[in-house]
Amino acid sequence: MIESTIENTPARTDPCKAAPPAHPRPEGHDRYTISEVAAFTGLTAHTLRWYERIGLMPHVDRSHTGQRRFTNRDLDWLAFVGKLRLTGMPVADMVKYAEMVREGEHTFEARAELLQRTRRDVLERITELQDTLAVLDHKIKFYADARTASERP
Amino acid sequence: MIESTIENTPARTDPCKAAPPAHPRPEGHDRYTISEVAAFTGLTAHTLRWYERIGLMPHVDRSHTGQRRFTNRDLDWLAFVGKLRLTGMPVADMVKYAEMVREGEHTFEARAELLQRTRRDVLERITELQDTLAVLDHKIKFYADARTASERP
DNA sequence: TAAAACCTTGGAGTGCACTCCAAGCAAGCC
DNA sequence: GGCTTGCTTGGAGTGCACTCCAAGGTTTTA
């Protein structure tokens, strides 16, 4: 087990899919201000502070005057949280996951279960969306046909 | 154009995907009470009244004493609204669509545009979810590997 | 016919996920 | 040094999509 308490995130070796709005992480020296992180993640500074307040962040480092200094590890975590957010997972569940991460390796099984449940939800949602796509296509075709009919009466 | 102001909905010829929790529409004589509709659609009676108040329903019929009597056409419309809801479309946009439907055929083009925009959103969301699925699978595999390693030290 | 279950309304309340505010320090620039 | 911009906090406010309430009329069941 080479992993620390905070998990490794895939090291982002697969950027083949279009990058989200604002994620060009600079090769900075690992201490980002809150507004930099806001720019990288697309979240607002407000939301980042709120995430920390509710326990969704793993203890963010501070400068000697008390300002937040986020690390690349924090950005990885936020990227993962962003993925979970896309699944529609409630924030409360993400907090539960974050707590389990803080608690250490004995929560591996529970974490895996949570992710497997989430995985099922995602598959279900994809199916629903594909169904919806079929309905939309049907309706769109109806409107297209209506237009053709009125053009060539 | 054989369509009335309210569009036809596909007649549901493709129930191959698992039916949602409670949609077994009975061969009733086309006048359902609000609680029957609630049972068929999975929405609450509260929500159905609210939908009507905000203009998301095409004028629901009433009994001689003023109680709502929904038709099969209403159920079709609600099924379509349910699909739109799955896409994450805001209720305000659905109301806009409903208004266009009420306004008649001259809104065909605008309706088609709205649906095409929605279609693009759905495709995008499906892609996002598939991305997310990859991340989840990676994490789940990590936990599975961790378990195997501890079983066979 | 009487009780139980269901329906009506406008308006108020809920839960979620942010989003903003005020007052006061902190940091970068001329 | 002084100015502007940025960061800090707890707590209050916002927007969305419902969700519920009270008081009363209606329909069904026994």
**DSSP of A36-94:** HHHHHHS--HHHHHHHHHTT-SS--EE-TTS-EEB-HHHHHHHHHHHHHHHTT--HHHH
Q: With respect to CATH, is domain A25-89 assigned 2.40.50.840?
A: no
Residue B152, pLDDT score:
59
Helix (H) or strand (E) holding A149: helix A108-151
Sort out which chain B residues have CB atoms less than 8 A from A78's CB and list them. Answer: none
Q: How far is the CA of A81 from the C1' of D15 (A)?
A: 23
Options 3.30.1240.10, 1.20.120.1200, 1.10.1660.10, 3.30.70.1900; which CATH number does B25-88 get?
A: 1.10.1660.10
Helix (H) or strand (E) holding B21: none
pLDDT in tens, B3-25: 333 333 322 222 222 234 445 66
What phi and psi values does residue B70 have, to the nearest 5 degrees?
-85, 150
Query: Does the structure show a pLDDT above 70 at B26?
Result: no
A110 touches chain B (CB under 8 A): no
Residue B116: pLDDT band with limits 50, 70, 90: very high
Which of A30, A28, A23, A18 lies closest to B130 in space, CA to CA? A18
Report d(CA A84, CA A96) in Å as an integer: 12
Q: What is d(CA B38, CA A76) in angstroms, rounded to the nearest whole number?
A: 44
Kindly determine whether residue A129 and residue B129, on different chains, have CB atoms separated by under 8 Å: yes
Residue with tokens 């046909």: A145
Of the candidates A105, A134, A149, the beta carbon closest to that of B1 is on A149
Q: Which residue is nearest to nucleotide C25 (CA to C1')?
A: A65
Cβ(A55)–Cβ(A98) under 8 Å?
yes
Nearest CA among A113, A40, A140, A63 for reference residue B143: A113
Q: Strand C-proximal residues, CB under 7 Å?
A: A 44, 46-47, 49-50, 63-67, 85, 90-92; B 33-36, 45, 49, 53, 62, 66-68
Question: What average pLDDT score do residues B43-72 get?
Answer: 96
Choose the closest CB to B131 out of A17, A105, A133: A17
Asked if residues A89 and B110 have their Cβ atoms less than 8 Å apart, the reply is no
Residue A101 has a pLDDT of: 96
Question: Residue-wise pLDDT tens for chain A (153 aa)?
Answer: 333 333 333 322 222 222 344 456 666 678 999 999 999 999 999 999 999 999 999 999 999 999 999 999 999 999 999 999 999 999 999 999 999 999 999 999 999 999 999 999 999 999 999 999 999 999 999 999 988 887 765
Distance from CA of B136 to the nearest CA of A (A): 7
CA-atom Rg of chain B in angstroms: 21
